[in-house]
Amino acid sequence: MLAIYRWLSRSGFDDEASLPVEAVVLRTLGLVYLAVFLVETFTTTPYPGFNGRGAAILTATIVFVAAAVASQPRRADVSTWRRIAALAGVTAAAAALGALQPNGIWAGGPYFVAIMAGMRLERVPAILTLAGSIAAMLVASAIEGHSGATFAVLLGAVPWFLVMRMMREIRNQRDALKSSQEAQARNAAAAERGRLAREMHDVLAHSLSALALQLESTRLLARRRGVDEEVTKAVDQAHHLAASGLEDARRAIAAARGEELPGPERIGVLADAFREQSGLPVAVEVRGEPHDLAPDARLAVYRTAQEALTNVRRHATAERVAIELEYQPHSTVLVIEDRARNGAAAPPPPGITGGGYGLTGMRERAELLGGELRAEPTAEGFRVELRLPG
């Protein structure tokens, strides 16, 4: 009996798609029904056995239980035809028991078919299955000569079928309402992201665009008036930084709108921009077979490389920079290392040791993703290493 109860718990009576009351009712009905069926069958004459008529009764009982079990699962891979075939097996076994054990509980078979068809099958297959079960039982009962009593029993199965259909419709309406509410929540979130993206575009992107244009005008004016070359170069670098910030703002806006976030594949673009702005050689090496990363992990790799290169440009006295991206079987490793002139170690960037955010924020992001970020001086410069799982 305990094994039957465990099976009922796994068979879909109380799955997530069911209402709580429905789950309790179905599980209780199934357990009580099988218990009563087995007790009545084994305590009614003629008894099940291993010889003659008893063996036939035992076989019909086994078929009944097996078919009832086969009709239960709610997994997606269980087809409608399999359920119909299982319920047909229940009907056949019940009809056989009606002939072999007339005083038994065989008349409960149609009730089981009515409950399962009403709850587990779509409307047309459910009606046809119940009608077929009732017709088969009437034919079998007419052959045995007790069709009148059987007809009265079969009529009692119809209300059960209607109750189960009503419970199914209630569940479907509940699921439809839940899906509608979830869709509304997603739409509201998308609308809010769109509003924030518009705000970012109006305030930040417009400001950076105006700044970039102003710096470009200042650079041209400085050259026309013969301003010192270092000043012109500084203005030019400021213009590049403003343009880069504008591009980053546009990417952030695109991300807020649900568009694809930048990832490891854009590290080469970062290196090219760094090379152009700083004049330092940058070596980029990718090892291993690239594999897909989660969106947050992809963004963490890109932002770490971006922040590390920014720190090199701002704070280090580097002579060259090396970027290594390695895809390992169970992790992804990014290393950005600068090498100072004359082998002198550069001081750590303020974003690592001071009050700035910088790579400290990247470290926190890595830890949230189950990884780690190390930033430390080396004998020749400074090294940043990001290691993420996956």
CA distance 84 to 87: 5
Which band of pLDDT confidence, cut at 50, 70 and 90, is reported for residue 274?
A: confident
Q: What is the mean pLDDT of residues 79-104?
A: 84
What does R_g of the chain's alpha carbons equal in angstroms? 37
The residue assigned the tokens 């008349």 is 107
Beta strands (DSSP E) in 202-341 are: 282-287, 318-327, 331-340
- DSSP, residue by residue, 94-117: HHHHHHH-TTSSGGGHHHHHHHHH
Q: Rounded mean pLDDT of the chain?
A: 77
Q: Are the beta carbons of 109 and 83 closer than 8 angstroms? A: no
Q: What is the pLDDT at residue 385?
A: 93
Q: What is the mean pLDDT of residues 61-76?
A: 75
Q: What is the pLDDT at residue 258?
A: 55
Q: Which of 165, 87, 73, 173 is nearest to 124 (CA)?
A: 165
**What number of other Cβ atoms are within 10 A of residue 383's Cβ?**
18
Q: What is the pLDDT at residue 4?
A: 40
pLDDT digits (tens, 9 = 90+) for 257-267: 555 667 898 89
Assigned token pair, 199: 């705000």
CA distance 149 to 77: 39
Lowest pLDDT segment from 108-112, 114-118, 232-236, 327-331? 232-236
pLDDT digits (tens, 9 = 90+) for 157-213: 888 888 888 888 888 888 888 888 888 887 777 777 666 666 666 566 667 767 777
Q: What is the pLDDT at residue 353?
A: 38
CA distance 388 to 296: 11
CA distance 139 to 147: 8
Q: Are the beta carbons of 381 and 337 closer than 8 angstroms? A: yes
Q: pLDDT at residue 256 above 80?
A: no
Going edge to edge, which strands form the sheet with 318-327? 282-287, 318-327, 331-340, 381-389, 372-377
Q: Are the beta carbons of 373 and 362 closer than 8 angstroms? A: yes
H helix and E strand count, the chain:
13, 5
Q: What is the pLDDT at residue 335?
A: 94
- Any idea of the CA torsion for 46, 47, 49, 53, to the nearest 10 degrees? 20
130 contact partners, CB below 8 Å, separation of at least 6 = 110, 113, 114, 117, 118, 157, 158, 161
Which band of pLDDT confidence, cut at 50, 70 and 90, is reported for residue 323?
A: very high
Q: What is the pLDDT at residue 333?
A: 94
Q: What is the mean pLDDT of residues 229-239?
A: 76
Which band of pLDDT confidence, cut at 50, 70 and 90, is reported for residue 57?
A: confident
Q: What is the pLDDT at residue 201?
A: 60
Which band of pLDDT confidence, cut at 50, 70 and 90, is reported for residue 360?
A: confident
Q: pLDDT at residue 1 above 50?
A: no
Assigned token pair, 343: 């082998």
Give me the phi and psi of 348, to 5 degrees please.
Answer: -65, 145
Q: Which of 321, 324, 325, 333 is nearest to 366 (CA)?
A: 333
pLDDT digits (tens, 9 = 90+) for 118-151: 888 888 888 888 888 888 887 777 776 665 556 6
DSSP code, position 261: P
CA distance 195 to 353: 37
Top-confidence residue, 332 or 274: 332
Give me the phi and psi of 319, to 5 degrees please.
Answer: -105, -30
CA distance 313 to 305: 12
Top-confidence residue, 238 or 161: 161
DSSP code, position 381: E
Sign of CA dihedral 14, 119, 157, 100: negative
Q: What is the pLDDT at residue 177?
A: 87
Q: Are the beta carbons of 216 and 246 closer than 8 angstroms? A: no
Q: Are the beta carbons of 384 and 337 closer than 8 angstroms? A: yes
Top-confidence residue, 198 or 102: 102
Alpha carbon of residue 196 to chain centroid:
26
Q: What is the pLDDT at residue 11?
A: 43
Domain with CATH 3.30.565.10 in the chain: 262-390
Which band of pLDDT confidence, cut at 50, 70 and 90, is reported for residue 387?
A: very high
Q: What is the pLDDT at residue 334?
A: 94
Which helix (H) or strand (E) element contains residue 173?
Answer: helix 147-200
Which band of pLDDT confidence, cut at 50, 70 and 90, is reported for residue 5?
A: very low
Quote the Cα angle for 205-299-207, to 5°.
Answer: 10
Which band of pLDDT confidence, cut at 50, 70 and 90, is reported for residue 324?
A: very high
Q: What is the mean pLDDT of residues 355-383?
A: 80
CATH topology of domain 262-390: Heat Shock Protein 90 (3.30.565)
Which band of pLDDT confidence, cut at 50, 70 and 90, is reported for residue 23?
A: low
User: Angle, to 10 degrees, between the axis of helix 80-100 and the axis of helix 52-70?
Assistant: 160
Q: What is the pLDDT at residue 111?
A: 84
CA distance 371 to 390: 10
Q: What is the pLDDT at residue 161?
A: 87
Which band of pLDDT confidence, cut at 50, 70 and 90, is reported for residue 8?
A: very low
